[in-house]
């Protein structure tokens, strides 16, 4: 462990105050939510902020509510709350699946959805299901509020489009179309799979009135610098019967799209093989849920 660099610590009570401190602090400022990434990164020396702004005293940033057209999830909502939420289970099954396998219960009690996006880990468990569900982030900055798709926020390992003074305040997950089902699976390096993903896959499938696949979304973790949309795999499913042949074609296309690195957790070739197997499994679950939703 490296010695922590000295930093000034703030607990503002409003968004305006937080944005003001961040804007004045420039590149050395960092937000603190649950701290499960930031504190570890500071202890290892990967991050050396001069200013840390804790969001915990700002009202209205945590909780899950039904709103017109979907659900709104506050950025400070802990992963454990996502896991336990019946609303998330009904409206975004892949997100509930992912929350249930993110780390261990103590980490899930601290880790937040906003921090998971803000960290932008290629191995993130929440990025893929949020992209499958076409989630939209609300972001507050010095120029006011704006909305961006979660998909468009990721630009590289640990990097987002967010400026240092931007704060994700909530995530909107739209009500899925009729006949939609989604699921998420991951394989971690240790038995039980609740550690960082060697590979993770989220999929969403919409069945049309004729029983064919009207649309599909497939997003993989830990196989590229950002969560990876497997567009060719999605196209391999569109318009087809939800058969084993269609699932196999999509799984092969997803594996072919992967651009993984080799690291301590897995070799690149092992990740590609896992990506194909997991994509097939997660598609079967998503199709089964889509059939349930079509009844």
The reply on whether position 112 binds ligand FAD by CB under 6 A is yes
- Residue of closest CB approach to ligand FAD: 115
Among 33, 99, 136, 203, binds ligand FAD (CB under 6 A): 33
Q: Measured from the CB of residue 137, what is the shortest distance to ligand FAD in angstroms?
A: 8
The reply on whether position 116 binds ligand FAD by CB under 6 A is yes
Other CB atoms within 10 A of residue 135 CB: 24
Residue closer to ligand FAD by CB (options 150, 287) is 150
Q: Measured from the CB of residue 121, what is the shortest distance to ligand FAD in angstroms?
A: 6
- Would you say 13 and 58 are in contact if contact means Cβ atoms under 8 Å apart? yes
Other CB atoms within 10 A of residue 161 CB: 12
Q: What is the pattern of x (binds ligand FAD, CB under 6 A) and - over residues 118-157?
A: xx-x--xxx-------------------------------
Radius of gyration of the chain (CA): 19
Region class of 60: left (phi > 0), else alpha (psi between -120 and 50), else beta: left
- Would you say 32 and 54 are in contact if contact means Cβ atoms under 8 Å apart? yes
Scanning 16-24, 65-73, 105-113, 261-269 for contacts with ligand FAD by CB under 6 A, the matching segment is 105-113
- H/E segment holding residue 150: helix 150-153
Question: Measured at the alpha carbon of residue 96, what is the angle toward residues 180 and 127, in degrees to the nearest 5?
Answer: 85
Q: Which residues pair with 31 in a beta bridge?
A: 53
Pair type for strands 159-160 and 228-229: unpaired
Residue closer to ligand FAD by CB (options 17, 107) is 107
Question: Measured at the alpha carbon of residue 148, what is the angle toward residues 32 and 40, in degrees to the nearest 5?
Answer: 25
- 3-class DSSP state of 271: helix
Q: What is the pattern of x (binds ligand FAD, CB under 6 A) and - over residues 36-65?
A: xxx-x-------------------------
Residue closer to ligand FAD by CB (options 102, 290) is 102
User: Which tokens belong to 93?
Assistant: 């099954």
Residue closer to ligand FAD by CB (options 43, 259) is 43
Scanning 8-16, 114-122, 246-254, 279-287 for contacts with ligand FAD by CB under 6 A, the matching segment is 114-122
The reply on whether position 77 binds ligand FAD by CB under 6 A is no
Q: Measured from the CB of residue 198, what is the shortest distance to ligand FAD in angstroms?
A: 11
Q: Measured from the CB of residue 163, what is the shortest distance to ligand FAD in angstroms?
A: 10
Which of 75, 33, 27, 35 shows the shortest CA–CA distance to 51? 27
- 3-class DSSP state of 163: coil
Q: Which residues pair with 154 in a beta bridge?
A: 160
- Would you say 218 and 285 are in contact if contact means Cβ atoms under 8 Å apart? no
Scanning 102-110, 253-261, 263-271, 281-289 for contacts with ligand FAD by CB under 6 A, the matching segment is 102-110
Q: Measured from the CB of residue 277, what is the shortest distance to ligand FAD in angstroms?
A: 19
Stretch 182-241 residues interacting with ligand FAD (CB under 6 A): 195-196
- Would you say 130 and 171 are in contact if contact means Cβ atoms under 8 Å apart? yes
Please give the residue ranges that form the binding site for ligand FAD (CB under 6 A).
30-38, 40, 75, 79, 102-103, 107, 110-112, 114-116, 118-119, 121, 124-126, 162, 167-168, 195-196
């Amino acid at each position: 462990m490296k010695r922590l660099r000295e930093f000034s610590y703030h607990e503002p009570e409003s968004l305006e105050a937080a944005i003001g401190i961040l804007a004045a602090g420039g590149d050395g400022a960092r937000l603190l939510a649950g701290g499960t990434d930031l504190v570890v990164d500071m202890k290892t020396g990967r991050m050396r902020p001069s200013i840390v702004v804790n969001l915990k005293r700002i009202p209205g940033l945590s909780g899950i509510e039904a709103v017109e057209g979907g659900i709104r999830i506050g950025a400070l909502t802990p992963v454990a709350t996502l896991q336990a939420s019946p609303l998330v289970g009904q409206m975004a099954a892949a997100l509930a699946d992912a929350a249930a396998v993110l780390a261990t219960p103590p980490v899930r009690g601290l880790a937040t959805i906003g921090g998971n996006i803000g960290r932008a880990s290629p191995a993130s468990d929440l990025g893929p299901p949020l992209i499958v569900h076409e989630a939209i982030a609300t972001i507050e900055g010095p120029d006011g509020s704006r909305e961006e798709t979660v998909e468009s926020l990721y630009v590289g390992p640990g990097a987002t489009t967010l400026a240092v003074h931007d704060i994700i305040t909530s995530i909107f997950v739209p009500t899925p179309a009729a006949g939609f089902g989604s699921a998420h699976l991951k394989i971690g390096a240790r038995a039980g799979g609740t550690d960082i993903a060697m590979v993770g896959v989220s999929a969403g499938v919409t069945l049309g009135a004729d029983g064919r696949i009207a649309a599909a979304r497939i997003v993989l973790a830990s196989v590229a610098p950002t969560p990876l949309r497997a567009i060719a795999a999605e196209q391999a499913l569109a318009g087809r019967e939800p058969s084993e042949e269609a699932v196999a074609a999509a799984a092969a296309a997803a594996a072919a799209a992967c651009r993984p690195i080799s690291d301590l957790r897995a070799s690149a070739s092992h990740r590609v093989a896992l990506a194909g197997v997991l994509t097939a499994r997660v598609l079967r679950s998503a199709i089964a849920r889509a059939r349930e939703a079509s009844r």
